[in-house]
Every structure is written in C-alpha cells, then in structure tokens.
C-alpha cells in the first residue's frame, strides 16, 4: 500500500531522461519513415507521438489514404510510386490489407516500428517544451504522457520535427511562414488571391456509415447545423460515400489553424452531424433508411499550418519546370492542389489542382532549418512556398523525403557533422548514393556505386525477352477513349504496328504516334506521326507503318484515337516496362482529359493519358515488324529501378517461355561477398492507397516469389519462397568467397515473364 501524507510542496510527475542519437517528434508517415530509416542505419532513435497510434493523417483516427506522385493513377507520372521504406510499408499493407481497413494499416506501421530495436517509441506523449544548448542548437525536448503520468526529457545531438505544426521548430525559434506568399516573391502564377480565395487550407473530418439491414432512426445532437441543404457542397454528397471521399467537408482556412484547431473541429462536428441529420431526416434519401453512423472522426485532418524555412524554398517553378537540383534527395508528383479557405462554405470549387508534366525533385536543403544547426524538418512543414506545399504535402511525398532525413541523420552522426554540412556538392553524393542503394530512385540522378561488386562481373542470362508484340487474348475494348500502347522506341527508327479492330459499321479511325518533347516526363505532348484508316464493318487487321521517327530514344505512345463504334483486341500478357494508357477523365484528381490553365497561372496545358487499374489496363494485341530489344541483362548494372521516360525499361526480362530463368554473375577472380540485394518489379505505376480504396491483388504480379542463389561451387547460399517485396536484402552468415553467383528464379504467372531491375553485391 502507498500512503503519502499531505505535502505543502508541489509534487513533480515521474521524470525519465532518454539519451539517443536522434529524436523524432511526430509519428505520422514522415516521422515513422525518418525514425525507421535512421534506426536501420544503427542510430538510437526516440520517436515521440502525441496520439495512441502511429500514422498521423493516415492513421485510423483520421483515415486518409496516403498518396503521392502516382496521384490515384490520374496523371502522366508513369512508374512514379515512391520507393524505399515507404514502398516496403505499402507492399506489406497490400499483402495484409488489400481492402484498405485503416485499423490494419495502424498495425502494419506499429509492427514496423516495434521490430526496430533501436527505436524507443513513446505513444500518447506530447512534446511541449524545448531546451536549447546554445542559440543555434537544440539540447532536449520535454514531453508528457498522460496515460502513465510520466514526463520524458529526450536529449540527442540531432532532432527531426515531423509534428505537422512544427512544435519543436517553432519553440526553438526557427523562421517560419503561415499563409500564402505573394505572386511576386517566387514568381508563382498560381499564388492565390488572399481576399477571395484565401490563405490557408482548412481541416476536414470524416464519417463512416454502415447498413444494418433494418431501419434505423437518427436524432441529431442539438449542436448539429440545421441547414445542411444550404451548404454549397452538399451536392457533392452521394449516399455511401464515407472516409476520404468526404475530403470536401473542410473548414478553418480563415482561422488560426493551430490555436483555433479545436474550434475548427467543433464546427466540423456540427457540419458532419448536420449532414447526417439531413440525409436521415430530410426525406431526400429514402435509401438511407437502414444506414447508421459507424464512426465519426474525433481528430480532424489538418492540412496546413506553419512551413519552416530551410536553405532552399521549393516553389512553383521547381515543380512546373521539373528543375533538377544538385542536392535532390526525394521527388514529388501530386498536383499543386490548393483549396478555398472558406472550405465547405465556399462558392469556389472544393479544390484547384494543376498538374506538372512529370515528377519534380526536392532538394535536401528543404529538409533542415536554416536557423537551427541540428534540426531536420520532415512532412508538411518542409521549406516550400504555399503553392509548392500544395503538392509536397501529400503523405507519400512527405514519407519519401523523411527517408532522406533519416539517412542524412545517420551520416551526420557517423561523420560528426550537422545537417547543413551534407548540403555541399561533394557531401551530398554520399547521401544520394546511400538513398538510392535503398531504392529511393532520385529522378534523373546517376551516381556510380563503385563498391557494388556487380560492376566488375560479367552477367549472363538464360534468356532475354525480345518484344515482337502481344499475343491476342479473348477480350476486346471499345474505343470510348483514345487508347495507347506505351513502348520504348529508338531514335530515327521506323516501325510497323499491326492491331486487330472490330467496327460496328463502316467508319474511320485515327492512329497517332506521340512522344514527349522533353526527356524528363511521360506527357505525350508531341505528335510524331498521324494516319487515318478507313474501316469496314466487322473484324480486320490495321497496320500502322510509321513514316516519321522520333529524334531521340524515348518512350512513345502508339495511340488509337477514340471511336465508340470500334473495338480493339487486347492481350492477357503483361511485361515489365510495357503498359497501356487512355486519354480518360479522372475527376478525383481534376483530370478532365486535358488541363488548360489560364495563361497567368504559368502552368502547362496538356493531355492526360492515364492507366487503368488491374485487372483492366490490359496491353493491346499487337504485332511488330521486328523486335524491340529493350530488356537486356545490361539493365541490371545501370543502377535504375524503374522505367524512365528516355526510353529505358531498366529491367532485364526473361523470355516469356522461360520457366526457370537464370542470371549468372561471373568474376575473373574470386570476390568476397556478404550482402546481396535484389530489386524486383513491384509495379511503381500502380497507386497503393492505404485506406478505403481496395486493390485487386495481395501481391504485385510482377514480383518474383521463389528463387535460389548458388555460389560458384553450386552451394545454395539462399532459398526464398513467397516473396512479395520489391527489395530483398540477403545478409549471408559469413563472408563468402566465390567467382560466380547463379540466381535461379521460378516463373509465377503464365502470362508474365520473370524480370529484375538490379542486383547488388557487397
Ligand atoms: C482532409 C485532408 C485530406 C488530405 N488528403 C490527402 C490524401 O488524400 N492523401 C495524402 O497523401 N495526403 C493528403 N493530405 C495531406 C496529408 O495528410 C498531410 O499533409 C500529411 O499528413 C502531413 O504529414 P506529416 O507527417 O507532416 O503530418 P501528420 O500526418 O499530421 O503527422 C504528424 C504527427 O505528429 C503528431 N504530433 C503533433 N504535435 C505533436 C507533439 N507536440 N508531440 C508529439 N507528436 C505530435 C501528430 O499527432 C501526428 O500524428 C490531406 C490532408 C487533409 C487534412
């Protein structure tokens, strides 16, 4: 028994002091990715999260689906899903949770953090104080957990603020901004008009509904709004919509989104319960009789508050012009997506999105404070203008950048230096190489990996895929939309493509060969060749013999233009680096087939050609007059992990009929090796939303599941079955000396040849 008598002195709560190498504040996807990356590099990390679960806006408390450059597959950013750790998390979530249950995603994240023995995780623990060692350095942060009534003081040489509002950066005095810049400051045509459109994006709150199979009545709380039918946005509501589909239930962009956050939440509760009252009791939704509210958010999703200044501020032109930076460490590709500050009460559209033609790089200098020597920034608070933040704020972009922060922290610790010290032209290469070794895929960046023993090996393969076309399947697709086969074509070459079409009646169809003007993106903004073909009623072959050629090697689009009276034959075969797209609308991401912004906004006009999700999105049955050789073993050595717009598939692909494909690495003299890394095709084109939106499969069909690795004497070094991850890192028990390695892969899918992007050996 504990009996303590009255004390006139104040009592202190229990104090725990934690010393580590890196303190990460905020357990959203950014904080989680920064912490795990650093922990895997050997740092002792304290991860402090004020709420009971990890994930921030992606958690079951808020229930946002995480997105990034693939943008629901509604833009022209081909093969652009973020790589590295966040991709590992997405593939794990896909395996366990293809239905998009937010509670299961919580456990995926928690498990990933739990498995890192170098991470001390504090949940339900809010940071409220910062102590500085000197003017420019943070010494410790102090936090409190109300569940165990414990105060924690966490000291470290390095800190990462991933808290969304930037509690650490703010309290330590770092320069920040809140609200939009003028058009002039960064020459940003899309900078909003402050009076009319407003300054800040608001919060949103979601609800989920459930059909009980019998009528359910509903009485709204007294605080619910009574005039939901007058909300300009109510027309957006469709019965059955829940979770992320209610993103337009937004409020607070005219308020202080930090200090009035609770007021904003309460207003959103009034709106949510008022909307539900309207649905249940207005008589306008008779089909809602059996529906009940299953869940209403208690923590609003917060879009915007402070942005902190680094040594560089990302701005509109970096995105639109896809400017390359010497210190690129991550990429983005979501549209610049701003919302009217009046949210649900606004007369404007719920959002305004303008897409870039391709993905853009994010410089390392955006990820640390320009004022505090030991403070990294991650998540939505990074150094970006309001307009650029409109794109960089999405969670997979945040997580991808946070991986760079975690890795940078490990280099800082190893070399006893500070975040800014890595930003020099020489030093940054170390970080970039380290990131790319882990699958970051920094765009348009080639850094030779001289330690990779594969570079000294001769590579042999059992077979190589020669693309001569796709065999016909049983499905035909009506040309409701222009449909294109994306192909890696050579410069100055002429091709002949044979398709099978079926016309309802005599008609004509146009076939175009398109490509991109620049080698930095996949937007088909240049017509190379165009021909019109007369079709008779019924089935027939169409041969498109090109008469003009592209000037540089590039992915090209062989487009059969829209004609609803015509069908094209499809194939069941799928191959790494080859896919179809359609000139289609995807309103969820403001894709109306093309975008034509007003000139003063200074954003490009172009068409969207976007993929369909599997099981749709099949390739076109097609015959070429000669093979396209783009899948050779040399691709295994070039360090790239995904197809690139300049016509490189970057993959070795085995022949379709090779059931037991092999890759053999042979060295002139034996090498000592300990680590082997394999990089499989996890289909970077497919968006893997974490919540709500289901996916057709648990495992990406291109990923090799079963394989064996043998040394030069035929000993099995490793046997793997049931793999579903993109990157397999094999740590051998001891250093092994051999003059060759043989990789024996098992073909998993009848219509998909085995493929691989890269092998590394250290
Ligand atoms: C309604 C809405 C819709 C959006 N739509 C999408 C979308 O569809 N897809 C998408 O990818 N992005 C979307 N976004 C953007 C995205 O959710 C945010 O920009 C992103 O979550 C920012 O990541 P973050 O890690 O910086 O912050 P968060 O995800 O908010 O994570 C920060 C974490 O820090 C914690 N924290 C805060 N203060 C403290 C403290 N003092 N101590 C300890 N921990 C603290 C918070 O609890 C939180 O868990 C949307 C945002 C909103 C609000």
Each residue of 446-503: pLDDT tens digit? 889 999 999 999 999 999 999 999 999 999 999 999 999 999 999 999 999 999 999 9
Q: Averaged over 675-689, what is the pLDDT?
A: 98
166 ligand 1 Cβ < 6 A = no
Q: 120 is written with which tokens?
A: 């001390």
Residue-wise pLDDT for 1-20, tens only, equals 999 999 999 999 999 999 99
Find out whether 499 and 542 touch, Cβ atoms under 8 Å.
yes
Q: What number does the ligand 1 atom closest to the CA of 399 have? A: 25
Q: What number does the ligand 1 atom closest to the CA of 128 have? A: 41
123 ligand 1 Cβ < 6 A = no
Mutate to test the pocket of ligand 1, among 23, 24, 27, 28 (most ligand atoms within 8 A of CB): 28
- Say if strands 458-461 and 176-177 run parallel, antiparallel, or are unpaired: unpaired
Mutate to test the pocket of ligand 1, among 25, 26, 29, 168 (most ligand atoms within 8 A of CB): 26
Q: Which pLDDT belongs to residue 363?
A: 98
- Residue closest by Cα to atom 29 of ligand 1: 56
63 ligand 1 Cβ < 6 A = no
Q: At 98, is the pLDDT very low, low, confident or very high (cuts 50, 70, 90)?
A: very high
Residue-wise pLDDT for 581-631, tens only, equals 999 999 889 999 999 999 999 999 999 999 999 999 999 999 999 899 999
Q: At 105, is the pLDDT very low, low, confident or very high (cuts 50, 70, 90)?
A: very high
Q: Which pLDDT belongs to residue 542?
A: 97
Q: 696 is written with which tokens?
A: 């057709």
Burial category of 232 from C-beta neighbours within 10 Å (exposed 0-12, middle 13-18, buried 19 and up) = middle
> Is the per-residue pLDDT at 199 higher than 90?
no
> Is the per-residue pLDDT at 405 higher than 90?
yes
247 ligand 1 Cβ < 6 A = yes
- Residue closest by Cα to atom 20 of ligand 1: 395
Q: What number does the ligand 1 atom closest to the CA of 66 have? A: 11
Residue-wise pLDDT for 267-284, tens only, equals 999 999 999 999 999 999
27 ligand 1 Cβ < 6 A = yes
Please spell the DSSP secondary structure of 537-569, one letter per residue: SEEEEEEEE-SS--SS-EEEEEEEPPEEEEEEE
Q: Which pLDDT belongs to residue 242?
A: 86
Q: Which pLDDT belongs to residue 240?
A: 85
Phi, psi dihedrals of residue 734, rounded to the nearest 5°: -140, 165
Q: Which pLDDT belongs to residue 234?
A: 86
Q: Which pLDDT belongs to residue 253?
A: 96
Q: What number does the ligand 1 atom closest to the CA of 68 have? A: 11
Cα(250) to centroid(ligand 1), Å: 15
Q: How far is CA 300 from CA 73, 258, 344, in A?
A: 26, 12, 14
Number of H helices, E strands in the chain: 9, 43
**Cα(687)–Cα(66) distance, integer angstroms:** 9
Q: At 236, is the pLDDT very low, low, confident or very high (cuts 50, 70, 90)?
A: confident
- Residue closest by Cα to atom 27 of ligand 1: 164
- For the chain, give the longest Cα–Cα distance: 99
CA angle 110, 114, 120 (to 5 degrees): 110
Cα(172) to centroid(ligand 1), Å: 21
168 ligand 1 Cβ < 6 A = no
Q: At 103, is the pLDDT very low, low, confident or very high (cuts 50, 70, 90)?
A: very high
Share the mean pLDDT of the chain: 97
Q: Which pLDDT belongs to residue 232?
A: 84
Q: How far is CA 710 from CA 127, 171, 675, 727, in A?
A: 51, 56, 14, 19
Residue-wise pLDDT for 42-84, tens only, equals 999 999 999 999 999 999 999 999 999 999 999 999 999 999 9
- Residue 75's CB is within 10 A of a number of other CB atoms, namely 29
- Residue closest by Cα to atom 37 of ligand 1: 163
Burial category of 404 from C-beta neighbours within 10 Å (exposed 0-12, middle 13-18, buried 19 and up) = buried
> Is the per-residue pLDDT at 165 higher than 90?
yes
691 ligand 1 Cβ < 6 A = no
Q: Which pLDDT belongs to residue 233?
A: 80
Question: Measuring CA to CA, which residue among 290, 241, 247, 239 is closest to residue 268?
Answer: 247
- Asked whether the bond before 440 is cis by omega within 30 degrees of 0, the reply is no
Residue-wise pLDDT for 365-378, tens only, equals 999 999 999 999 99
Q: Which pLDDT belongs to residue 636?
A: 97
Q: Which pLDDT belongs to residue 89?
A: 98
Residue-wise pLDDT for 498-541, tens only, equals 999 999 999 999 999 999 999 999 999 999 999 999 999 999 99
Cα(110) to centroid(ligand 1), Å: 17
64 ligand 1 Cβ < 6 A = yes
Q: Which residues contact 750 (CB under 8 A, 6 or more apart)?
A: none
Cα(204) to centroid(ligand 1), Å: 11
Q: Which pLDDT belongs to residue 235?
A: 81
Q: Which pLDDT belongs to residue 577?
A: 98
Q: How far is CA 739 from CA 221, 456, 561, 677, 711, in A?
A: 75, 11, 53, 17, 8
- Residue closest by Cα to atom 23 of ligand 1: 379
Share of the chain above pLDDT 90, in %: 96
Q: Which residues contact 495 (CB under 8 A, 6 or more apart)?
A: 489, 545, 546, 624, 625
243 ligand 1 Cβ < 6 A = no
Cα(21) to centroid(ligand 1), Å: 25
Question: Measuring CA to CA, which residue among 266, 306, 298, 246 is closest to residue 26?
Answer: 306
Mutate to test the pocket of ligand 1, among 32, 61, 142, 164 (most ligand atoms within 8 A of CB): 164
30 ligand 1 Cβ < 6 A = yes
């Amino acid at each position: 028994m504990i009996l303590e008598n009255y004390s006139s002195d104040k009592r202190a709560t229990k104090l725990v002091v934690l010393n580590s190498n890196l303190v990460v504040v905020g357990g959203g996807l950014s904080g989680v990715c920064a912490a795990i990356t650093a922990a895997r590099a050997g740092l002792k990390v304290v991860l402090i999260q004020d709420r009971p679960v990890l994930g921030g806006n992606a958690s079951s408390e808020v229930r946002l689906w995480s997105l990034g450059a693939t943008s629901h597959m509604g833009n022209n950013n081909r093969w652009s899903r973020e790589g590295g750790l966040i991709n590992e998390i997405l593939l794990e979530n896909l395996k366990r949770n293809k239905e998009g249950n937010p509670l299961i995603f919580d456990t995926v994240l928690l498990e990933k953090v739990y498995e890192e023995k170098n991470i001390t995780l504090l949940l339900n623990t809010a940071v409220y104080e910062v102590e500085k060692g000197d003017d420019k350095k943070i010494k410790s942060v102090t936090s409190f957990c109300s569940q165990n009534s414990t105060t924690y003081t966490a000291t470290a040489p390095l800190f990462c603020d991933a808290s969304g509002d930037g509690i650490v950066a703010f309290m330590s005095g770092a320069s920040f901004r809140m609200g939009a810049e003028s058009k002039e400051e960064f020459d940003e045509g899309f900078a909003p008009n402050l009076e009319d459109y407003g300054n800040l994006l608001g919060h949103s709150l979601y609800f989920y509904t459930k059909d009980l199979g019998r009528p359910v009545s509903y009485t709204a709380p007294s605080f619910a709004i009574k005039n939901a039918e007058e909300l300009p946005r109510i027309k957006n509501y469709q019965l059955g919509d829940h979770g992320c589909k209610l993103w337009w239930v937004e409020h607070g962009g005219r308020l202080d989104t930090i200090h009035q956050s609770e007021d904003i939440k309460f207003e959103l509760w009034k709106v949510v319960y008022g909307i539900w009252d309207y649905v249940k009791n207005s008589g306008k939704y008779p089909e809602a009789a059996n529906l009940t509210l299953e869940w209403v958010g208690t923590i609003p999703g917060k879009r915007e508050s402070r942005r902190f200044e680094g040594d560089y501020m990302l701005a509109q032109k970096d995105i639109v012009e896809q400017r390359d930076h010497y210190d690129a460490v991550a990429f983005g590709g979501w549209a610049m997506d701003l919302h009217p500050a009046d949210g649900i009460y606004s007369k404007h559209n719920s959002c305004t999105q303008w897409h870039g033609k391709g993905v853009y790089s994010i410089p390392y200098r955006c990820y640390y404070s320009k004022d505090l020597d030991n403070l990294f920034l991650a998540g939505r608070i990074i150094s970006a203008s309001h307009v650029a933040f409109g794109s960089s704020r999405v969670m997979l972009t945040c997580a991808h950048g946070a991986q760079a922060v975690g890795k940078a922290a490990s280099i800082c610790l190893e070399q006893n230096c500070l975040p800014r010290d890595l930003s020099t032209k020489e030093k940054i290469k170390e970080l970039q190489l380290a990131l790319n070794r882990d699958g970051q895929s920094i765009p348009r960046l080639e850094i030779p990996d001289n330690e990779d023993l594969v570079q000294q090996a001769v590579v042999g393969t059992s077979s190589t895929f020669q693309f001569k076309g796709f065999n016909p399947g049983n499905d035909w697709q009506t040309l409701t939309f222009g449909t294109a086969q994306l192909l890696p074509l050579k410069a100055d070459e002429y091709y002949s493509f044979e398709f099978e079409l079926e016309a309802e009646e005599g008609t004509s169809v146009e076939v175009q060969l398109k490509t991109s003007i620049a080698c930095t993106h996949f937007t088909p903004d240049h017509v190379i060749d165009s021909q019109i073909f007369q079709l008779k009623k019924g089935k027939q072959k169409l041969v498109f013999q090109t008469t003009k050629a592209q000037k540089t090697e590039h992915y090209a689009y062989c487009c059969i233009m829209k004609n609803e009276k015509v069908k094209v034959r499809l194939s069941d075969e799928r191959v790494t680096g080859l896919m179809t797209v359609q000139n289609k609308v995807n309103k969820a991401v403001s894709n109306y087939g093309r975008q034509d912004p007003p000139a003063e906004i200074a954003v490009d006009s172009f068409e969207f050609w976007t993929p369909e999700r599997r099981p749709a999105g099949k390739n076109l049955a097609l015959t070429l007059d000669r093979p396209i050789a783009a899948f050779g073993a040399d691709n295994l050595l070039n360090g790239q992990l995904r197809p690139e717009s300049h016509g490189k598939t970057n993959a070795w692909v085995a022949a379709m009929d090779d059931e037991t494909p092999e890759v053999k690495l042979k060295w002139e003299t034996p090498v000592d090796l300990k680590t082997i890394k394999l990089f499989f095709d996890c289909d970077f084109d497919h968006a893997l939303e974490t919540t709500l939106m289901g996916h057709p499969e648990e495992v990406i069909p291109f990923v090799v599941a079963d394989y064996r690795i043998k040394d030069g004497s035929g000993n099995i070094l490793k046997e793997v079955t049931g793999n579903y991850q993109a990157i397999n890192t094999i740590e051998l028990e001891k250093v092994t000396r051999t003059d060759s390695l043989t990789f024996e892969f098992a073909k998993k899918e009848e219509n998909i040849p085995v493929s691989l992007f890269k092998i590394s050996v250290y």
